[in-house]
Amino acid sequence: MEQPGRGQVVTFYSFQGGTGRSMALANVALILAMNGKRVLIVDWDLEAPGLHRFLEPFLDADYVVRQSGVIDLLREYEDEVVHGAESIAEKIRRVAAVERHTIGVSWAFPGTGRLSLLTAGRQNSSYSPALGERDWDRFFEDLHGVDFLEALRDDMRASYEYTLIDSRAGLSDVVDICTQHLPDVLVDCYSLSNQAIDGAVRTAYAVARYARRGEPTRRIRILPVAMRVDHTVPSRADSGRRVAELAFSGLPHGVLDTEQIRYPASVEIPYRAEYAFEETLAVFGDAPGDPESLLASYERLTEVITDGEVRSCPPLNSDERLRVLRRCARTPR
């Protein structure tokens, strides 16, 4: 168990793109912040950044693309290690302070609740070269990369109650950082295709192996979550569910057999066509109280992630919800 008062780092990962991973993360983040939690979301999908799109009604878009982020933080650390005069420990501790790079989301969250964003990095002409020149072997072997990532994780835990990381899809060194080095919880998102299930299972067991041989006191809780489940052909959906349940047998760890049987259905995220066209959040798009809504599915996922601490999104004023929806709507030029 984590120490009392320490935050948790939660990575949202999918083997394939198009699962609705980023949308799920953004909804869970808002549900947490609207319950008074201090939340950071991190866009670590460096090849296709865009997490901020879900929060555009509450952000200055021009400022977002100019703000430093993950790439800038990594580049700063590498420069400091090579050229700085301080000890390695001092450099790591100073550069790993993430709040210097975050953007606050403009919303009146209750109590101490807040939502901050760490972007992928400045979206300028140097972004692609900075991404392409990353030498991850050198980062880990010569530049104390593991120590830096541990310090980064510790800083996120100390500053925020929940840090939600949007990982890139597929298999890569960047994926390993997001799924193995940083998280306390891995939300392993998958659609019901064979390829998506196989890739998600492969990653889940790679993470489980890493956790067993890594820090003795650290455990990574793995939560498989079926995404964008289309209910229009029930027999095909049921077949996919059975394949996934067998493939993920034994996950999540540490729950009773009866809970493990109920778990997949409790966190399943349905496909809703009305959300396929714009970056609209179910927190604003769905009225509260409908157990079949997309919002209700994100609330159930939030409950599982937080071990029951946060179970629902506080009801929003109808006029307020509609005002946000109008700001989200795409206007033809």
Q: Report pLDDT digits (tens) over 7-66.
A: 999 999 999 999 999 999 999 999 999 999 999 999 999 988 999 999 988 998 888 888
Per cent of the chain over pLDDT 70 is: 92
Closest Cα to residue 32, out of 10, 64, 14?
Answer: 10
Question: What's the topology of domain 8-322?
Answer: Rossmann fold (3.40.50)
What whole-number distance in Å separates Cα of residue 249 and Cα of residue 207?
15
The residues facing 163 across adjacent strands are 9, 40
Burial of 87 (0-12, 13-18, 19+ CB in 10 A): exposed
pLDDT exceeds 50 at position 3: no
The residue among 126 and 206 whose pLDDT is bigger is 206
What whole-number distance in Å separates Cα of residue 146 and Cα of residue 89?
12
Angle at 68 between CA 64 and CA 71, to 5 degrees: 120
The whole-chain average pLDDT of the chain stands at: 89
pLDDT at position 254: 62
Q: Between the ranges 62-76, 80-94, 222-236, where is the mean pLDDT highest? A: 222-236
What whole-number distance in Å separates Cα of residue 189 and Cα of residue 13?
6
Assign 134 a pLDDT band (cuts: 50, 70, 90): confident
What whole-number distance in Å separates Cα of residue 49 and Cα of residue 13?
14
pLDDT at position 13: 97
Strand order in the sheet with 103-104: 103-104, 114-118, 38-44, 162-167, 8-14, 185-190, 221-226
SS3 226: strand
pLDDT exceeds 60 at position 4: no
pLDDT digits (tens, 9 = 90+) for 251-298: 887 665 667 778 888 899 999 999 998 899 999 999 888 999 999 999
What whole-number distance in Å separates Cα of residue 179 and Cα of residue 254?
19
Number of helical (H) and strand (E) elements in the chain, helices listed first = 14, 7
Domain boundaries, the chain: 8-322
Assign 216 a pLDDT band (cuts: 50, 70, 90): low
